[in-house]
Amino acid sequence: MGEMTFFLPLIIILGAFMFFASRRQKKAMQAQIDLHDSLKVGDRIHTTAGIEGTIKGVTDDNIELEIAPGVVTTWLKLAVRDRIEDDLDDDIEDTDDVKDTDYEARESTGTEITESPNTKTDG
């Protein structure tokens, strides 16, 4: 009787854990299937191999992926890991423009432009 009172809660906890883990796995698998079914020409994706590219063609089981200008490879849809979403909020300025603007601002105010202290000079 004493062993039964110990194992019964353990079995219930283990069963609940397996149930929720199974549910989570089914949801993840369904999300992956939905992704594969929704792929279309023009989508940017990552493959499971870590390659990033643009879809140029879609068939039932395969996609044609452009990984560089003019370089198109064929992949199984199963190799698609995720879709790359374009972030419109990421308006990052070109660093060269920032440096040029900074230089022009210093030049117009008469501020002296010096080299970085980490720069070594011969002499």
More confident residue, 53 or 88: 53
Q: How confident is the model at residue 56 (pLDDT cuts 50, 70, 90)?
A: very high
Read off the pLDDT of each residue in 53-69 and give the average, rounded to a whole number.
94
Domains parsed from the chain with CATH numbers:
9-85 (2.30.30.30)
8-21 per-position pLDDT tens digit: 888 889 999 998 99
Residue 120, pLDDT > 70, answer no
The residues that bridge with 13 in the sheet, in sequence order, are none
